[in-house]
Amino acid sequence: MTFLKVIDIYKKLKVRIIMSLIAKFDGNMNVIGNSLKKYRIKNNISYEKLSAKLELMGISIHKQSLYDIENNKRTVKDYELFGLAYVLGIDVNDLLEDIRKKFR
C-alpha cells in the first residue's frame, strides 16, 4: 500500500468519525433542507446566485455547501438561517416549517 493511499484512507476515516460525532435530528444534520430547496426553486435562484447574494451580506456559503444543506448533509448556523430567509424574501419560520409540523 502506498503512502498516498494510506493518507487517503485516513482522511476518509477522519471525516466519518467527525460526522458521527455531530448531533443529528431524525438522521439529518439540519431541519431546513427541504424548505430551503422548495423556496430556492420557487424563487428561481441557483446555488451560485444564492451564494453570491449571501456573500454580499457577509455570509459565506459555497454553492456546494448550499447543496449539502438542502440534502441534510451540513449543519446551519443561526446567522446563515437568517441570511437564507432574508435573501429568499421569507420569514425564518418558513424555513422551519417541517420541524414545526412535526411537533404540532
Instruction: Spell out the domain ranges in the chain.
Output: 25-102
pTM metric for this prediction: 0.77
Q: What is the structure's pLDDT at 17?
A: 60
Q: What is the structure's pLDDT at 8?
A: 76
Q: Which CATH superfamily is domain 25-102 in?
A: lambda repressor-like DNA-binding domains (1.10.260.40)
Nearest to 39 by CA among 97, 102, 78, 79: 97
Output the tens digit of pLDDT for each of the chain's 104 residues: 677 776 777 677 666 665 555 667 778 889 999 999 999 999 999 999 999 999 999 999 999 999 999 999 999 999 999 999 999 999 999 999 988 887 77
8 A C-beta contact, residue 57 and residue 12: no
